[in-house]
Amino acid sequence: MSRSTRQFEQVAVVGHFAAGGAREGQGPLAAAFDQVWDDDLVGETTWEAAEAKMAVDALEGAAHDGGWSLGEADVVVGGDLLDQLVSTNFAARQHHRPTLGVFAACATFAEAVGLAGLWCDRGSTRAVAGAWSHHLAVERQFRFPIEFGYQRTPTASWTATAAGALALTQGTGAVQLRAFTVGRVVDPGSADPMDMGTAMAPAAWDSLQRHLAAVKARWDDYDRVFTGDLGVVGSGILCDLANDPGFVRVHDDCGRSLYRPDQDVHNGGSGTGCVAAVVAGHIMPRVETGEWHRVLVAATGALFSPTSYQQGESIPAVAHVIELEAYRP
């Protein structure tokens, strides 16, 4: 086993919760959401406060689905895209559970779930892991003011207003977290913040290859291999890198799945909440019922900031991989 991959025997995913905003609630996965927010402010006064409210809703929902309350969680692991993880930390001041705030851009969800798995693997622990993003809050920080009305390029992704969380504990359940591979930072030299798929695809391929080697598996062993937020452009590059019909057959992408082609999102969805909502709402129920027995999720993150971009830096990326499997006694 690779030293950057951990395999688990007794980590169960016992609860899940997914939610999306109005645009996400009009997409092809609308029926998969436990909650849809029609109001961008979610009853709050700022977009950032709305994102914190989304985080609390997702964490509470996952814990409740697992048969316990968020107040009974031993640890919360989560993250977002905002400076100083403000939505994660402001949510934590409300739920008041021990919290690990993590950041890996749009790969944050897989990192959070993997760390929660490591925590549960060490003892009888209840953990909740999740990620969330708000389109208007994230766009204000990373790109132009929304009111500017700038022209989006065909390669640009749409930051999802979405949240997703999983409840984990030591033991067995309908779904097991089987493995977690920590990604390496890979920099292909891309420098266009409106084309994150190109920047992230090499990192996804690097982590997926290392994960397969570590767990001694083949693409045919999986019902689906999801990437996170590569979108149309990045998915095409990844399939070219794989150059394997077996991989192409099982590959799907969370950013490509969240919206319909006619929703004007160009390359597809992105944001920390995108992968989280697709995993919690779309993937988990199919693994629970045994429709999909074994699924890989390689969440990808573009590791840039407004400052690094303005200083002429390229956009390095990372991909963390989690493996989910339907439990068979």
CATH number at residue 274: 3.40.47.40
Residue 41 predicted with pLDDT over 90: yes
Mean pLDDT over each residue of the chain, to the nearest integer: 93
* Average pLDDT over every residue of 46-69: 97
Split into its structural domains, the chain has a count of 1
Residue 267 has pLDDT above 80, yes or no: yes
* pLDDT interval class at 161 (50, 70, 90): very high
Element (H, E) at 270: strand 269-270
Average of pLDDT values for 238-266?
94
In this prediction, residue 309 carries a pLDDT of: 79
Q: How confident is the model at residue 53 (pLDDT cuts 50, 70, 90)?
A: very high
Q: What is the pLDDT of residue 144?
A: 59
Asked if the model's pLDDT at residue 106 lies above 80, the reply is yes
Between the ranges 16-25, 142-151, 306-315, where is the mean pLDDT highest? 16-25
Place 253 in a pLDDT band, splitting at 50, 70 and 90: very high
The crossing angle, in degrees rounded to 10, of helices 47-65 and 135-142 is 130
Region 221-229 average pLDDT: 96
- Look up the domain containing 57 and give its range: 1-329
The angle that helices 196-215 and 231-242 make with each other, rounded to 10 degrees, is 40
- Alpha carbons 91 and 254: distance in angstroms, whole number: 25
Position 145 scores a pLDDT of 57
Tokens of 215: 């767990």
Q: Beta strand pairing status for 11-20 and 35-36?
A: parallel
